[in-house]
Structure 1
Amino acid sequence: MTRIARREASQEEAARQKEIIGRLGKRLEGQELTYHLSTFGCQMNFHDSEKLRGILEEIGYRESADETKADFVLYNTCAVRENAEQKVFGKIGFLKNVKRSRPHMLLALCGCMMQQEGVVQTLKRSHRHIDLVFGTHNLYRLAELLEARMDSDSPIYDIWDSHQEIVEDLPTRRTDRHKASVNIMYGCNNFCTYCIVPYVRGRERSRNPEEILEEIRHLAADGVVEVMLLGQNVNSYGRGLPGHTNFARLLEEIEKVEGIRRIRFMTSHPKDLSEDLIRVLGASSKICPQLHLPFQSGSSRILERMNRGYTKESYLELIRKMKAAVPELALTTDIIVGFPGETEEDFLHTLDVVDQVGYDLAYTFLYSKRTGTPAASMGEQVEEEVAKERFNRLLALCNRQAYDKSAAHVGKVFEVLVEAVNDRENGILSGRLANNHLVHFSGAPAEGFLDRAVGTFLQVKVTGAKSFYLTGEAI
């Protein structure tokens, strides 16, 4: 299918779904139905949930904080770590008894967990109270699937192995009026040996740049001042598209959109971070001086077993180039401890990378087996006690670094995008610096100032620091 034909097919499908949404809305009009949506996992999942909310609210559902009283309960699931899956199974087990007393309640599951055949079989065998199950490739069909379940006496299971068309032009309910996430691509081609994502999200598919830009222009017109560009590996954006489209060029075009003042993105893969991208980041006035660049392990030997496609030395060279191009760059990362075959020497290389780079924040994880990944069947699985001891050493170093990075802000004045009125302390606002550091600060005493400040930019003097946030005062 050609690029034009694919776009036309996507537009036709979006129009079809809107027709179903309208039809279902008329069918349920006046019933005052409620929904509860719980989201597990990454920012991609949370953005997917904004779309699910938009569809449900367009139909006429209103959100409920209490899943035991909602008419429609939906869990958007994650498959990256086992504990997220266990939480979902715990919730659906709990709701089994609730449904006995509220037989009209509908219970649905979607997202990454549902792309695993073993999970689906378990649901069919042991959780027959579930009404609707769908995966990652057909989230946009929520209204159609919900209508099908209402017309059926049996549960609906609709799991797709893959999908080429990208259907975006559907209702969305954002959680923030001044910030928005934008998918620029879907799927992943990297197949890191520990990761289930390529198997549940599918192969890499990039959106057309003109569609991305059109969406961002609409967001800017709606008052959005900060966009977060999302993809499993944004650095490989554009592969498969005609011409010379790549991530660096896309960023240059987004920077031209009037009204957008901050641009963020995640996640970047080190093996695809190009010289062209470094140049754009260094020259930009809107791209935030913050980069999330997972290194996972400091050992080149372990990185090879992980199929990461770079070495310790090449990663550190990338960091050197990034810091030279963006001197105020804030760096965050992901690190796995206890990967199969990891020795004490390998772990010391990880500590060395952390020590050399100096991260503003590190997300640290104990290796978790994921069925269906190559690493799950590798020999030399690290003993749990050994992995935990290493993890604690790493965490102590990362926490010290995080505090030192925060403390370096004290006494300085920064521009802050105000995100919320703090719900724990009166008279306090919360927002983020361009480098993504969170700051809680006192505002001016003028009447109504707090509510008016949300979504605006203020100058804030940082007066104190904790490991994971700053304190300050508006000036």
Structure 2
Amino acid sequence: MEMLAIAEKEHDESRQGEAFSPFTNDPNQYQRKFYIESYGCAMNFADSEVVASILNSEGFGATRNVEEADLVLLNTCSIREKAEQTVRKRLTEFKTLKRSRPGMLIGMLGCMAERLKSKLLEEEKLVDMVVGPDAYRSLPSLISQADTGQKAVNVLLSREETYADISPVRMDDNGVCAFVSIMRGCNNMCSFCVVPFTRGRERSRDAYSVVAEAEALFAQGYREVTLLGQNVDSYYWVDEKQDTIVTFANLLEKVAQISPLLRVRFSTSHPKDITDEVLHTIARYENICNYIHLPVQSGSTRILQLMNRTYTREWYIAKVNRIREILPDCSISTDIIAGFCTETEEDHQDTYTLMEYCKYDLAYMYFYSERPGTLAERRYTDDVPEEVKKRRLQEIIALHRIHSLESMQRDVNKTFKVLIEGNSKKSDQHWYGRTDHNKVVIFPKEQYKVGKGGYVTVYIDSCTAGTLFGTVQSVL
């Protein structure tokens, strides 16, 4: 899985974050209340919306107030050690709260479930139930089991489960942008990654259900969907009705054809799998955003081989060149890991020079955090000192900030189509939106009669390394 998290940006107005709390318009209509927090990637946030739908059908209504919840759930992430530390801290806080609410149940969902189930259930007694990513349908029976005082566990992985028939409950969002999961699991065995072990093998959701969900969202007023998968480019579904194979390029086109007013994004692409067919599909449709997340992880071919990324530095650069050939105006972002096992200063410089070549518009940067159960943990020694990892990471971040500022500065004195997503976090007199290059734009509301979900053209007059600022030129 490619890591999706908060970018190194000066000003981030997006809905991504470590945790969120869903709610319903009238939680009092339900017999019991639940509270959920999600950590990590966008897939976890999408999964929480599936969980909310299942719980709603069982008489649970969501609440923002954890102190009134009968059921508290943490949807967990195992990508980085910090996320696990945060989850443990929250579980300890919830255990303290439970002393004043004896009937309250605490559950852990998601990627930490399999690895830590025994420790959290039996040794530390922090949770009442543990539910893996493929076992959310069993939540009602697990809750009933936990209600009797038994420890409830289901972390079985599935080769078929896609939750395609469950309509997610959209929670704590802006009513404009939504995630649509198109596949689950991952077949890539990147040595640093736990996802193949926590989310299982790759399986694609049927195309009809994906398009139907996107159509329903558009009818409800949403104006942007992001198609989600650990590796969307390997989407592969057999349409037995038509006796055809639906590739990711085919699916992308089907969603784009719903309406020219519906923006379409996708995440994440594995460099080895993104095809010219996908690039040409983006070029054909104005409403498919000119933005591709293309994780490189390292600029060193030697390190890429240790990571089992299945491409070389030169191959990756050729792919970037191909994107820019077919989509000259495309914005490219990436993931980078500093300090992977055995990484030398020369390897680090290879990453540095690759960044100089690609000049990413956006980057998600981390230092290596060994995860239990991964191939890297079994095969390699985590031998780069933490202070060296952090120093290399800071050098990478500093270089990216230069590139990010340059990218933003190139947009000054230009006009862009912007989808309004809501109020700026810093001022309710300003709108927040994004260009199709995924760049944040802040601009005053002024007298224009347009609101969330509306499109405007914005003239950019200034910027920081993370945000564009401008004024409305016209309402579309």
TM-score (norm 2): 0.88
- Provide the C-alpha distance between the structure 1 equivalents of 2:30 and 2:270, rounded to a whole number of angstroms: 48
- Alignment match, 2:342: 341
> What is the number of residues matched between the two proteins?
441
Letter matched to residue 163 of structure 2: V
Question: Deviation per CA, 1:209-248, whole angstroms, max 9, x where unpaired?
Answer: 2222222222222222211100000111106777432111
- Alignment match, 1:157: 153
Return 5+ residue gaps in structure 2 as ranges: 1-26
CA shift, 1:59, in A, is 4.2
Question: Deviation per CA, 1:115-162, whole angstroms, max 9, x where unpaired?
Answer: 22xx11111222335222101001233334324433x23121121133
| Superposition map of 1:73-472 within 5 A | 73-116=72-115, 119-128=116-125, 130-150=127-147, 152-174=148-170, 175-238=173-236, 243-258=244-259, 260-377=261-378, 378-379=380-381, 381-445=383-447, 449=449, 453-472=451-470
What is the RMSD computed on CA atoms of the aligned residues? 2.0
**Contact 2:131-2:154 within 8 A present in 1 as well:** yes
Match of 1:291, SS state, is strand
CA shift, 1:299, in A, is 0.6
- Provide the C-alpha distance between the structure 2 equivalents of 1:362 and 1:250, rounded to a whole number of angstroms: 27
- Provide the C-alpha distance between the structure 2 equivalents of 1:359 and 1:62, rounded to a whole number of angstroms: 42
Task: Pick which of 170-179 and 222-231 moved more.
Answer: 170-179
Pair 1:235–1:129, CA change in 2 (3 A): closer
- Provide the C-alpha distance between the structure 2 equivalents of 1:69 and 1:261, rounded to a whole number of angstroms: 38
- Provide the C-alpha distance between the structure 1 equivalents of 2:277 and 2:117, rounded to a whole number of angstroms: 43
Question: Deviation per CA, 1:174-209, whole angstroms, max 9, x where unpaired?
Answer: 123222211111100001000001100100001122
CA shift, 1:390, in A, is 1.2
- Provide the C-alpha distance between the structure 1 equivalents of 2:246 and 2:212, rounded to a whole number of angstroms: 16
1:50 is aligned to 2:61 = no
- Alignment match, 1:19: none
Question: Deviation per CA, 1:233-265, whole angstroms, max 9, x where unpaired?
Answer: 011110677743211122222222136531110
Letter matched to residue 97 of structure 2: V
**Contact 2:238-2:246 within 8 A present in 1 as well:** no
Q: Which has the higher contact order (CA 8 A, sep 6+)?
A: 2
CA shift, 1:50, in A, is 1.7
Pair 1:31–1:326, CA change in 2 (3 A): closer
Match of 1:426, SS state, is strand
Identity %: 36
Question: Deviation per CA, 1:255-304, whole angstroms, max 9, x where unpaired?
Answer: 22136531110100001112222222222322100000000000111101
Match of 1:386, SS state, is helix
CA shift, 1:93, in A, is 1.3
- Provide the C-alpha distance between the structure 2 equivalents of 1:288 and 1:188, rounded to a whole number of angstroms: 24
- Provide the C-alpha distance between the structure 2 equivalents of 1:388 and 1:153, rounded to a whole number of angstroms: 45
Letter matched to residue 128 of structure 1: K
- Alignment match, 1:71: 70
**Contact 2:233-2:273 within 8 A present in 1 as well:** yes
- Provide the C-alpha distance between the structure 2 equivalents of 1:38 and 1:353, rounded to a whole number of angstroms: 37
Letter matched to residue 118 of structure 2: Q
- Provide the C-alpha distance between the structure 2 equivalents of 1:141 and 1:444, rounded to a whole number of angstroms: 50
**Contact 2:165-2:209 within 8 A present in 1 as well:** no
CA shift, 1:29, in A, is 8.3
Task: Pick which of 179-188 and 217-226 moved more.
Answer: 217-226
TM-score (norm 1): 0.88
Letter matched to residue 159 of structure 1: V
Question: Deviation per CA, 1:399-425, whole angstroms, max 9, x where unpaired?
Answer: 111111112111211111111112431
Give the helix-richer structure, 1 or 2: 1
Match of 1:145, SS state, is helix
Pair 1:98–1:407, CA change in 2 (3 A): same
CA shift, 1:163, in A, is 4.0
Match of 1:245, SS state, is strand
Match of 2:328, SS state, is coil
Letter matched to residue 346 of structure 2: E
CA shift, 1:77, in A, is 0.4
